[in-house]
Amino acid sequence: MLPPMPGLIERYRDHLPFEPGDPVVSLGEGSTPLVYAPRLSDRVGADVWLKIEGTNPTGSFKDRGMTCAVSAAVREGAEAVVCASTGNTAASAAAYAARAGLRGAVIVPEGKIATGKLAQALMHGARVIALRGNFDEALKLVRALAARHPVSLVNSVNEFRIQGQKTAAFELVEQLGGELDALCIPVGNAGNITAYWRGFNEAGHRPQMLGFQAAGAAPLVLGAPVANPETVASAIRIGNPARWEEAMDAMTSSGGAVNAVSDAQILDAYRFLAATEGVFCEPASAAGVAGLLTPWTLVTVAASVAAFYASAKGLQDGDAVPVIAITGTAANVAGIVGGIIVFGDPLSTTPVGLVVQFFAFGLVLIAAWLTPAPVRAVGAAV
């Protein structure tokens, strides 16, 4: 029998604040794939690699920091863990609390958390409280709770979270043999870009750090907090990042920059990755690719090798997935599918393709509609 892949604390203990014999709460996180993206590379004129963090146990990069934060909580005798979350942190904290035998409590902005992430937290037994406010207000509340009670706060303000998340930078350096010129990364609460920069520095590597925020939640770009952040990318819907100064230092010290991308650009990149590279990430993850594809980045970055951080899998936040269902007799459905194969995908976002393919697809639908057996094409995009 092959030995199990060690979790990141065991793998990188020499670089982490844990001694032999310390309790380790692990679900086998880390050691995630790095996948070459040929079509994206052709499009931007650089070798682009995708770090697939959605393969972590709860489906996001948060598990890297959570194994360290919850292990430290157990070592320190905490009775419970608590966090504020837009989704991924809630799922991860709940899972690692369950693994450790601790109680977990999560405060989420009411109506602002993806259903899949909420389901994860509930199934792991966490107490989930919806706050009528935004993430920044939720974080302020849990910080006050942690100051008054014997609970451990496991948001990215926790130093152990940064320690765990820096290991992804170690992996990138190992996987690329140090040949990395730039990292494109989504920025929400700014803990991850802070952790990456720390990891790169400890590994003796200094790629350009290019951070991207959603235009409706871009305080680092605007230079001021955003009172009511709004974006389809729920994981980065944050108006006042807890690691603001560290994130700005990472970008300026590396010769990188921060920029904003629109929801339309995010969704276009989200679909492009899934349809051409086979990588289904959540919309927030696609912000990095959306940023890479902007003329601003293509002019700014002098990179031969770039990496994009796919921070969470698409099923974590499926609310933006377009759904097409075609019903009817086998013959008619076969005719419609044949039309799609011949004329292309009607959901293509290429401007010329949209015009040509929708007309072609419409002709196929009309032909099917004129046949005796009824066919219905139903589309919905939430």
Is pLDDT at 20 greater than 70 in this prediction? yes
Percent of the chain residues topping a pLDDT of 70: 77
The per-residue pLDDT for 382 is 27
Percent of the chain residues topping a pLDDT of 90: 69
Q: Is 210 domain-assigned? A: yes
Question: 188 and 280, same structural domain?
Answer: yes
Question: 153 and 88, same structural domain?
Answer: yes
The per-residue pLDDT for 87 is 87
The per-residue pLDDT for 338 is 47
Mean pLDDT value across residues 261-268: 97
Is the separation of the CB atoms in 96 and 67 below 8 Å?
yes
The per-residue pLDDT for 64 is 97
The range of the structural domain enclosing residue 93 comes to 62-159
Dihedral of CA atoms 247, 250, 256, 259 in degrees, nearest 10, equals 0
Q: How far apart are CA 202 and CA 304, in angstroms?
A: 23
Instruction: Specify which residues 272 forms β-bridges with.
Output: none
The per-residue pLDDT for 323 is 41
H-state helical runs in the chain: 8-11, 38-44, 62-75, 88-100, 115-123, 135-148, 159-165, 167-176, 191-202, 219-222, 244-253, 263-272, 283-292, 295-300, 330-343, 351-370
Q: Is 3 domain-assigned? A: no
Question: 201 and 302, same structural domain?
Answer: yes
Is pLDDT at 164 greater than 60 in this prediction? yes
The per-residue pLDDT for 158 is 96
Q: Is 274 domain-assigned? A: yes
- Among candidate residues 103, 131, 159, the one where a domain is terminated: 159
Which is more confidently placed, 371 or 73? 73
Is pLDDT at 318 greater than 60 in this prediction? no
Q: Is 230 domain-assigned? A: yes
Kindly report the pTM of this predicted structure: 0.82
Q: Is 1 domain-assigned? A: no
Question: 304 and 202, same structural domain?
Answer: yes
Question: 353 and 265, same structural domain?
Answer: no
The structural domain count of the chain equals 3
Is the separation of the CB atoms in 210 and 187 below 8 Å?
no
pLDDT band for position 151 (50/70/90)? very high
Which is more confidently placed, 76 or 335? 76
Question: 176 and 30, same structural domain?
Answer: yes
Question: 308 and 200, same structural domain?
Answer: yes
Q: How far apart are CA 268 and CA 265, in angstroms?
A: 5
Question: 346 and 284, same structural domain?
Answer: no
Q: What are phi and psi of 379, to 5 degrees?
A: -125, 145
Question: 221 and 89, same structural domain?
Answer: no
Is pLDDT at 330 greater than 70 in this prediction? no
- Among candidate residues 316, 341, 371, the one where a domain is terminated: 316
3-state secondary structure 9-62: HHHCHHHCCCCCCCCCCCCCCCCCCEEECHHHHHHHCCEEEEEEHHHCCCCECH
Q: Is 171 domain-assigned? A: yes
| CATH, residue 134 | 3.40.50.1100
Q: Of 375, 237, 256, whose CA–CA distance to 319 is shortest?
A: 237
Question: 344 and 287, same structural domain?
Answer: no
Question: 139 and 124, same structural domain?
Answer: yes
The per-residue pLDDT for 188 is 94
- Among candidate residues 279, 299, 316, the one where a domain is terminated: 316
The per-residue pLDDT for 255 is 94
pLDDT band for position 232 (50/70/90)? very high
Question: 264 and 307, same structural domain?
Answer: yes
Q: Is 101 domain-assigned? A: yes
Is pLDDT at 141 greater than 60 in this prediction? yes
Across the chain, mean pLDDT equals: 84
Q: How many CB atoms lie under 10 A from the CB of residue 280?
A: 20
pLDDT band for position 304 (50/70/90)? low
The per-residue pLDDT for 319 is 54
The per-residue pLDDT for 346 is 46
Q: Is 145 domain-assigned? A: yes
331-369 pLDDT, tens digit per residue, is 444 444 444 445 554 444 455 544 544 554 555 455 545
R_g of the chain, CA atoms, integer Å: 22
